Amino acid sequence: MKYQYIISTILGSSILFGALNACTPNKTILEQVKNSGELRVLTRNAATSYYDAPNGPTGLEYDLTKKFAEYLGVELKLRTPNSLNDILADISNGNAHVAAAGLTITKEREKLVKFSVPYQYITQQLIYKSGNTRPKNIFDAKGHLEVIANSSHAERLVKLKSKNQNLHWYESNTEDNLELMHLVSEEIIDYTIGDSNEIALNMRFYPKIRVAFNVSKPQPLAWAFPNSIDSSLINEANKFILALQKSGELDSIIRRHYGHVDNYDYTGTKTFLRHVSKRLPRYKNQFETAATKNNLDWRLLAAVAYQESHWNQHAVSPTGVRGLMMLTRATAKHLGVRKRTDPIQSIRGGALYIRKLLDKIPSDITEPDRTWMALASYNVGYGHLRDAQIITKKRGGNPNKWIDVKESLPLLRKRRWYKKTRYGYARGTEPVHYVENIRSYYDILAWHQETQLEQKIDPSKLAIVSPVL
């Protein structure tokens, strides 16, 4: 384990806080935060923590720290260091007030920082690719096992190795466990370990990934604070978290970010066909009318609606968008949609929005690339699409071709790329899957319309990766 660098910073932390207290001998850290008017928080760009969505900043850690800042009556100031190691070093050095980055409480980390009361519990899990032999336990996992360096997963493996010296693994300097999941999916490595919350969110992007077993018992996630004698701020944070727990608001926030994972099966063949038969007839006329008015193919409009809501007019996402076309409140208002759960209004609004996005795409981008890029911007936002096009050009690709842009979109979750962009971090893998799923649904709807067949459709037609242009 490479904690030597972090441990060496503890002395600096005590000196820094001693200096701060010397400057303001009668003021606690909590008072200093309130007097300065800002809460300085370290976090990480990740789906489970903080990222910039089309509606603005979101993520569990963002929502919680934003509420904490409001509770204190100050502004939230976020910073995203390069790595987990940097987050731990910075907070132990007193370079921020709080580190909120999905940090598991471990014995090694407790030597460096103070932890708040837990706000969530996770379990470490080993994942492998479906079709390969499922290992029974960690010592049965023969092959290439790779985890993030200095992570709680690496700590857990060190502890397990004390029971069996034949346990071996590699440690990666990657910033995101999603990257290791991708390597497992592509069979570049055999196994990785992740936290159950991250795996639950990301498995839908890699449908061939499976959980083999739990590597740990439930472990607490908590905020980290500098190891200072002054406990005024951490005490206030504990009061805040416990109040959220008691009121049920904490559980509601967690469900908003994670509760949808098991409820949406966007690529299920049987589910799709059942909905074509049972749900589509209710809305088909509205799709056709709205599509005609906006010069769209009704089957494309219907495919977008299915990807968004499974043709459920009462659908609500974890970020608060709702209705058949899953419009945000701001977008609905801009489009003149007063009631998002009204299917006619939602379909009309969604069709108009797609038309506006299509018209926004530069004229030198031709079909079908024009449509795929408009749909990607429907999902991730036009600004992030433009960032991906710029990255595509820098990498020698054609920014006007979806086949090239879709290779660059996932790079928006990698710091070395997004730090150079205007709009920053985005879950760039998601719009790629989003567009490919819609293409698949469109193909099936077109086939269904022509043949009126509702059974014996090749399941590969609904694969998450459809044929490229």
Cβ pair 64, 253 in contact under 8 A: yes
Q: Which of 8-17, 24-33, 172-181, 300-309 has the highest mean pLDDT?
A: 300-309
Which residues of the chain are in CATH 1.10.530.10 domains?
Answer: 269-462
Q: Is 308 a catalytic residue?
A: yes
Mean pLDDT, range 331-342, rounded to an integer? 91
Q: Which residues pair with 419 in a beta bridge?
A: none
Task: Give the separation between CA 226 and CA 112, rounded to whole angstroms.
Answer: 8
Q: Could you identify the residue written with the tokens 């929502």?
A: 63
CATH class for domain 124-217? alpha beta
Residue type, 374: A
Which residues of the chain are in CATH 3.40.190.10 domains?
Answer: 4-118+222-258, 124-217
Q: Is the pLDDT of residue 340 over 50?
A: yes
Kind of pairing between the strands at 145-148 and 170-172: parallel
Q: Is the pLDDT of residue 229 over 80?
A: yes
Q: pLDDT grade, residue 7 (50/70/90)? A: very low
pLDDT tens-digit readout, 320-335: 788 999 998 888 999 9
* Percent of the chain whose pLDDT exceeds 70: 86
For residue 164, the model assigns a pLDDT of 87
Higher per-residue pLDDT: 16 or 460:
16
For residue 178, the model assigns a pLDDT of 83
Mean pLDDT, range 351-359, rounded to an integer? 94
Task: Give the separation between CA 282 and CA 280, rounded to whole angstroms.
Answer: 5
Task: Give the separation between CA 251 and CA 159, rounded to whole angstroms.
Answer: 32
Q: Which of 205-209, 351-355, 362-366, 440-444 has the highest mean pLDDT?
A: 351-355
Higher per-residue pLDDT: 18 or 116:
116
User: Which residue among the candidates 155, 236, 308, 436 is catalytic per the annotation?
Assistant: 308
Q: pLDDT grade, residue 421 (50/70/90)? A: very high
Q: pLDDT grade, residue 140 (50/70/90)? A: very high
Q: Which CATH architecture has domain 4-118+222-258?
A: 3-Layer(aba) Sandwich (3.40)
For residue 351, the model assigns a pLDDT of 95
Q: pLDDT grade, residue 447 (50/70/90)? A: low
Task: Give the separation between CA 65 and CA 79, rounded to whole angstroms.
Answer: 12
User: Taking CA 121 as the corner, what is the angle to CA 53 and CA 172, rounded to the nearest 5 degrees?
Assistant: 70
**Domain range 269-462, its CATH number among 3.30.70.890, 3.40.50.920, 3.10.450.350, 1.10.530.10:** 1.10.530.10
Higher per-residue pLDDT: 12 or 136:
136
For residue 274, the model assigns a pLDDT of 80
Please, what is the average pLDDT of the chain?
Answer: 85
Kind of pairing between the strands at 75-79 and 38-42: parallel
pLDDT tens-digit readout, 262-312: 544 444 655 777 888 899 999 999 999 999 999 999 999 999 999 999 999
For residue 21, the model assigns a pLDDT of 46
Q: Is the pLDDT of residue 363 over 80?
A: yes
Mean pLDDT, range 122-133, rounded to an integer? 94
